[in-house]
Amino acid sequence: MILLCGIPSESPLAMVARALDELGADYRVFNQRHVANADIVLEIEAGEVDGTLRFAGEDFRLQEMSAAYLRLMDDRLLPELEGEPEGSAARRHARATHDTLYRWLEIAPGRVVNRCEPQASNGSKPYQAQLIARYGLLVPETLISDDPDAVLAFRREHGTLIYKSMSGVRSIVHALEETDYARLDHIRWCPVQFQALVPGTDMRVHVVGDDVHATEIVSDRLDYRYAKRQGGSAELRAARLDDGIAQKCIDVTRGLGLEFAGIDLKITADGEVFCFEVNPCPAFSFYEANTGQPIALSVARHLVEGSRGSARRSPSPSRDRPADGECLAAVT
């Protein structure tokens, strides 16, 4: 049985559920908004981990869960816990249930899309960029600094700069303008990531196992995700990548230990391929809705294929292992 974890109405989870329905797959949805009525118990016997997951009025043996797709939000922000004081019984139960579920999914023998440990590399963009470069994709020239003079020197060397978040928290990409100089001294309180602007064509690539879905974006704004909000436009088109580039996208996804990734590329006029980020929990619905690419179906098929082979599978460690830390899916 395939386990979907998250909020059923959230678009990516709902689309994968519909695709599983089309495939006739056996699955259940763990609705984390109903965590108050859920429970999980682990059992260890003869070196094997099993146990019971209880939700929606049913009990399921963990060994019956042959594959899983995770879209879990931060349980501390669940609407059902709003107004609950820190340390309340409801909050302690939600935290314990999520924490135990995460821990089990790290060692579950089936296919998990995606386990938490490999997702952690996205928590530090500079760290992840070093991993990306190992797979033949270029990364922009980058400066992380709290020194305004260093930033201005970097700008003189590389021309137009952009700045954005270093963490897994979503941010709007902005160009560094002369009007920003007056407040540049503020970075002394918090280092900021600056990068050389890379001109070219924006591409979002979704990799699911061996499936590659590429989307070309044409926009009149620097950050196409916010184009409409900023009074601009963004057009998404299904595209085909050169086989070599597609293989690099597959390689970096596997190299980071991921089953599914959303990769942000920029392809320059002379064919250079820059990679800005590998998103380990992509909100692919925006791209599928605008291009018709069957991304959800690829995820569903990947889960079904993994489910069939779960009896022979065990979680394989990623080649590039990030620092230990809990993963909370970032909907970006």
- The CB-side HSE value for 129 (13 A sphere, CA atoms) comes to 19
User: Is residue 312 packed enough to be buried (19+ CB in 10 Å), middle (13-18) or exposed (0-12)?
Assistant: exposed
Prediction pTM value = 0.88
Same domain, 127 and 227: yes
Shared-domain flag, residues 23 and 124: no
d(CA 3, CA 299): 13
* 123 and 269 inside one domain: yes
pLDDT computed for residue 170 by the predictor? 77
Stretches where the chain sits below pLDDT 50 are: 311-319, 321-332
- Distance between CA 66 and CA 78 in Å, rounded? 27
Residues 124 and 208 in one domain: yes
Residue 327 belongs to some domain of the structure: no
Give the domain extent around 151: 142-196
Which residues, in sequence order, are CB contacts of 264 under 8 Å at separation 6+? 202, 203, 204, 205, 275, 276, 277, 278, 279
- What the block records as the tokens of 271 is 């064919």
Per-residue pLDDT tens over the stretch 219-258: 877 777 877 888 888 899 999 999 999 999 999 999 999 9
* CATH number of the structural domain spanning residue 170: 3.30.1490
Note whether 129 and 269 are same-domain residues: yes
Residue 44, beta-bridge partner list:
49
- Check residue 15 and give its pLDDT: 98
- Angle value at C-alpha 100, between 321 and 280, nearest 5 degrees: 40
Assess whether 98 and 8 both reside in one domain.
yes
* Same domain, residue pair 154 and 129: no
Looking at the structure, tell me whether residues 127 and 172 fall in a common domain: no
Residue 259 is predicted with a pLDDT of: 97
Q: Are 315 and 32 contacting, i.e. CB atoms less than 8 angstroms apart? A: no
Pair (25, 157) in one structural domain: no
Q: Which two tokens stand for residue 54?
A: 């209880």
Residue bearing tokens 């499936």: 211
In this structure, the answer to whether residues 124 and 232 fall within a common structural domain is yes
Query: Is 131 found in the same domain as 147?
Result: no
Domain match, 71 and 128 both:
no
